[in-house]
Amino acid sequence: MNRRPSIRGALGSLLPPRDLLPLAALTLCPVLTFCLLATSPPPAHAASSRTPAAVPVTWPQPAFREAEWFTMTGGTHGGAVTAHRAGDSGGRRITEIEDGDWIDLGAVSPGSIDSVTVRAASGGIGGTVEFRAGSPAGPLLGSLTVPSTGGWDRPASPTARLTGAAGGVRLFAVFANPAWRAGTADLFAVDWFRFDGPAADGG
């Protein structure tokens, strides 16, 4: 959608604070914040203030997310990069994943997500994906191991349980293997994430 949609009500309109992205590209946030703009003049029984008020509107977060949809990346070795690869979902994956690198997956409600499955392939030594709340060094919500799969075109799909957080947080995926050394192959490449639970669309 390129236009700025509105939802009209008896007293005004609900307007997204920015243009909506296609549903598949939404960040992992089960609650979108809208602004309630009061009518002018309001009915006699309505509040007289014309200050916009934030109104939470529930929205199912997508159960499937391409890895390249990360918000930010960084880490000890500069972070991940997006690479084109035929055969991957959407024709892309994230690569250049080394020990200590991370990606920011955006806002999520871990208490409403039971598990995360990662589609990844490794022609290197493999490593772990740690899911952390708030920052790359935040509380650990769960982790999984991506083994050496025997090649960059031989993916595996391990799953991690998520526990230990309530409410909305920013979710970070941190990639680790202390045995990695500069000049050796990447730990692994990631194609997509799948979230399962009541807050995931289709969960």
Each residue of 16-48: pLDDT tens digit? 333 333 333 334 443 343 334 444 455 555 444
Give me the pLDDT at residue 197, please: 81
Domain that holds residue 88: 64-201
Whether residue 142 is predicted with pLDDT greater than 70 in this model: the reply is yes
Residues 124 and 55 in one domain: no
Backbone angles phi, psi at 86, to 5 degrees: -60, 140
Spatial distance between the Cα atoms of 31 and 80, rounded to a whole number of angstroms: 28
- Report whether pLDDT(132) > 60: yes
Whether residues 94 and 184 share a domain: the answer is yes
Mean per-residue pLDDT of the chain: 76
Instruction: Indicate if 54 and 74 belong to the same structural domain.
Output: no
- Please give the tally of structural domains in the chain: 2
- Is residue 147 domain-resident? yes
Report in angstroms the alpha-carbon separations of 92 from 27, 67, 153, 175: 18, 8, 13, 19
Q: Which residue, of 59, 74, 93, is where some domain finishes?
A: 59
- Dmax (CA) for the chain in angstroms is 72
Whether omega for the bond prior to residue 110 falls within 30 degrees of 0, making it cis, is: no
- Domain annotation covers residue 103: yes
| Residue 11 within a domain | yes
